[in-house]
């Protein structure tokens, strides 16, 4: 599946970063996708395929009530 991402999008990955965060900001688009961890600011380059496999959801920038689902 093809995911439409834009620079500056906040996205959530399936796997947790070692720092404990799931959320990343898109900082580079191209053959590789550059994302930056929102918590520890670490930057990672992923091939688009890899990115799409790890991608879980978009995080809306201005969500007044962050949804908390039961699974942790």
Considering beta carbons, is residue 23 or 52 the nearer one to Zn ion?
23
Binding site for Zn ion (CB under 5 A): 17, 19, 21, 37, 39-40
Considering beta carbons, is residue 21 or 52 the nearer one to Zn ion?
21
| Strand, coil or helix: 67 | coil
CB of 64 to Zn ion, least distance (A): 25
Q: Which helix (H) or strand (E) holds 10?
A: strand 10-13
Q: Which helix (H) or strand (E) holds 7?
A: none
CB of 22 to Zn ion, least distance (A): 9
CB of 13 to Zn ion, least distance (A): 10
User: Residues 3, 6, 9, CA angle at the centre, nearest 5°?
Assistant: 95
């Amino acid at each position: 599946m093809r995911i439409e991402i834009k620079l500056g999008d906040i996205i959530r990955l399936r796997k947790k970063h070692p720092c404990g965060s799931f959320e990343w900001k898109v900082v580079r688009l191209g053959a590789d996708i550059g994302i930056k961890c929102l918590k520890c600011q670490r930057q990672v380059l992923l091939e688009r395929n890899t990115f799409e496999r790890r991608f879980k959801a978009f995080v809306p920038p201005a969500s007044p009530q962050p949804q908390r689902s039961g699974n942790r």
